[in-house]
Amino acid sequence: MNYRRSSLLFEDAKKIIPGGVNSPVRAFKSVGGTPIFIDRAKGSYLYDVDGNRFIDYISSWGPMILGHAYKPVLDAVKKRLKKGTSFGIPTEIENKIASLAISMVPNIEKIRFVNSGTEACMSAIRLARGFTKKEKIIKFKGCYHGHADSFLIQAGSGAITFGSPDSPGVTQGTAKDTLLCDFNDIDSVIKIFKKNKNKIAAVIIEPVAGNMGCIVPKFGFLEGLREICDQNKTLLIFDEVMTGFRLAKGGAQERLSVNADIVTFGKVIGGGLPVGAFASTNEIMNKLAPEGDIYQAGTLSGNPIAMEAGYTILNILNTDTEIFKSLDEKTKKLHAGMESLLNKSNIPFSINSFGSMISLHFTEGPVVDFNSSSLGNNNYFKKYFHEMLNAGIYLPPSAFESYFLNDALSYQDIEFTLNAFESVLKKIVI
Ligand code: KE4
């Protein structure tokens, strides 16, 4: 593969954009090398500026669930563009997507649209704190809820339950209110609640984690969180930015039959345009300004072009639920194919998948939390990533990410991927 023009563009980009990218994971820091620049995409294929074609397994980190340049979305956006792009005044399309989302997702009666998953999650935390009049929150090591200060917290060395900033610029004052537990470890949650009686406003979790690779909740774990939140009058927030409208039309709540108090969305809900959202019952959502006194706002929130794209996608997912079965089947095919090839090798591995999310870890496993996901052999991962890229397969450029399948992927694409995978495995261990 020739990446000449991408390399030139990346050199230019680094002079004018920090790290040459507008989001760090795109810079290939975790796998080394130079990121490719995309010219266009269609269906399951990406085409870079050097004319290379790649089968896409990140789908823009989730949004492109029906594939790229999906005609119904493009047509809806083109039609809407003629009416103008932004008004800062209510539009009917906001009503339409709001009522559609509410009809699809369990336990929500009102929804507020914002412009990113980060904004959705940070607003959900403020809402929970305002509603419960408590200040602390629990998050889980390895879960990512966007780059708001409250979330960029990792367990300090020794202070295993009190957070310490994971990024400069996050103050100790903020960090002290974020408590950390281990994914799939309900005892770590019980311990924290005992130490912080009546202080915890919310537990926020990715119900199926996708930011330490894909990690599936153990049987009873989410149910345990539901119970402990009820006992302590703490709100359970499902961060469904990844899982929402991907695992099922009702997301993880529907798929896993566990009810959250507040749900956040991003990615798919915007159909490829910048949209986030958070939703809950009338009782909780009515505390938000201008109805209530918990403030949250945004110039481009509910942007009609983005609403149009999101509404189009949600409509299709709402009416054609075969799509979720198709995505699941394709993911199972990829999982089984990779597993059988790896079983013939002497490479330590663990593959996690759920719905149309999947990740490969170069460690024996089981990979059930951040610590076990950190045991993966990153040298193997780097080689795997670049060999697959050179074979025309675009995977997430980090072992701490999930793949996101899109329904434009054909079984031929998956066969092609598995054939490439077979030859790549032979090169990894050398
Ligand atoms: P955004 O602000 O990036 O729209 O959403 C933040 C967010 C919130 N919650 C979950 C569960 C998420 O996965 C994300 C963002 N996901 C990453 C991928 N791991 C986006 C890719 C990126 O940061 O460039």
Residues 165-197: tens digit of each pLDDT: 788 899 999 999 999 999 999 999 999 999 999
pLDDT of residue 156 exceeding 50, the answer is no
C-alpha distances in angstroms, 170 versus 40, 153, 412? 37, 8, 47
Average pLDDT, the chain: 95
As annotated, the active-site residues are 144, 239, 267
Pocket test for ligand 1, best of 23, 28, 61 (most atoms within 8 A of CB): 61
The residue type found at 213 is G
pLDDT of residue 265 exceeding 50, the answer is yes
Mean pLDDT, rounded, for 230-249 = 98
Contact 91, 303 (CB under 8 A): no
Provide CB contacts within 8 A for 242, sequence distance 6+: 62, 206, 208, 210, 211, 266, 267, 357, 402, 404
Preceding peptide of 366 cis, ω within 30°: yes
pLDDT of residue 162 exceeding 70, the answer is no
Preceding peptide of 348 cis, ω within 30°: no
Pocket test for ligand 1, best of 118, 144, 151, 398 (most atoms within 8 A of CB): 144
Q: Nearest C-alpha to atom 6 of ligand 1 is from which residue?
A: 146
Contact 71, 46 (CB under 8 A): no
pLDDT band with cut points at 50, 70 and 90 for residue 284: very high
The CATH class of 71-319 is alpha beta
Ligand 1: which atom is nearest the Cα of residue 116?
4
CA gap 269, 311 in Å, rounded? 8
Pocket test for ligand 1, best of 28, 118, 147, 357 (most atoms within 8 A of CB): 118
pLDDT band with cut points at 50, 70 and 90 for residue 157: very low
Distance between Cα 137 and ligand 1 center (Å): 19
Distance between Cα 347 and ligand 1 center (Å): 30
pLDDT at 9: 98
pLDDT at 321: 82
Distance between Cα 94 and ligand 1 center (Å): 23
The residue type found at 278 is F
Mean pLDDT, rounded, for 356-370 = 96
pLDDT digit string (tens) for 117-153? 999 999 999 999 999 999 999 999 999 999 999 999 8
Distance between Cα 39 and ligand 1 center (Å): 23
* 362 alpha-carbon distance from chain centroid: 22
Distance between Cα 211 and ligand 1 center (Å): 8
Q: Nearest C-alpha to atom 21 of ligand 1 is from which residue?
A: 61
Distance between Cα 167 and ligand 1 center (Å): 16
The residue type found at 117 is G
> Residue ranges per domain, the chain?
4-69+321-425, 71-319
pLDDT > 70: percent of the chain: 97
- Token representation of residue 87: 């008004």
Q: Nearest C-alpha to atom 13 of ligand 1 is from which residue?
A: 242
The residue ranking higher by pLDDT, 306 or 155, is 306
Residue 34: CB atoms within 10 Å: 15
CA gap 236, 256 in Å, rounded? 15
pLDDT of residue 163 exceeding 90, the answer is no
CA gap 199, 8 in Å, rounded? 52
C-alpha distances in angstroms, 308 versus 98, 246, 281? 11, 19, 24
Q: Nearest C-alpha to atom 24 of ligand 1 is from which residue?
A: 23
pLDDT digit string (tens) for 299-357? 999 999 999 999 999 999 999 989 999 999 999 999 999 999 999 999 999 999 999 99
Range of lowest pLDDT (150-154, 364-368, 370-374) = 150-154
Contact 396, 402 (CB under 8 A): yes
Q: Nearest C-alpha to atom 18 of ligand 1 is from which residue?
A: 61
User: Number of C-alpha atoms within 13 angstroms, CB side, residue 134?
Assistant: 19
pLDDT at 161: 47
CA gap 399, 427 in Å, rounded? 18
Q: Nearest C-alpha to atom 23 of ligand 1 is from which residue?
A: 23
Can you tell me whether residue 137 is helix, strand or coil? strand
CA gap 236, 228 in Å, rounded? 9
Distance between Cα 239 and ligand 1 center (Å): 10
- Token representation of residue 232: 């302590």
Residue 309: CB atoms within 10 Å: 27
Cα-flanking dihedrals φ and ψ of residue 215, to 5°?
Answer: -130, 125
Q: Taking CB atoms and a 6 Å cutoff, what residues make up the pocket around ligand 1?
A: 23, 25, 61, 116-118, 121, 144-146, 206, 210-211, 239, 241-242, 266, 276, 401
Distance between Cα 277 and ligand 1 center (Å): 13
Cα diameter, the chain: 63
Pocket test for ligand 1, best of 121, 123, 241, 278 (most atoms within 8 A of CB): 241
The CATH class of 4-69+321-425 is alpha beta
Residue 182: CB atoms within 10 Å: 19
pLDDT of residue 160 exceeding 70, the answer is no
pLDDT at 165: 78
Contact 386, 379 (CB under 8 A): no
b (16+ CB within 10 A) / e for 132-145: bebebbbbbbbbbb
pLDDT digit string (tens) for 9-66? 999 999 999 999 999 999 999 999 999 999 999 999 999 999 999 999 999 999 999 9
* 76 alpha-carbon distance from chain centroid: 25
CA gap 402, 256 in Å, rounded? 19
Nearest residue to 100 via CA among 287, 300, 317: 317
Residue 78: CB atoms within 10 Å: 10
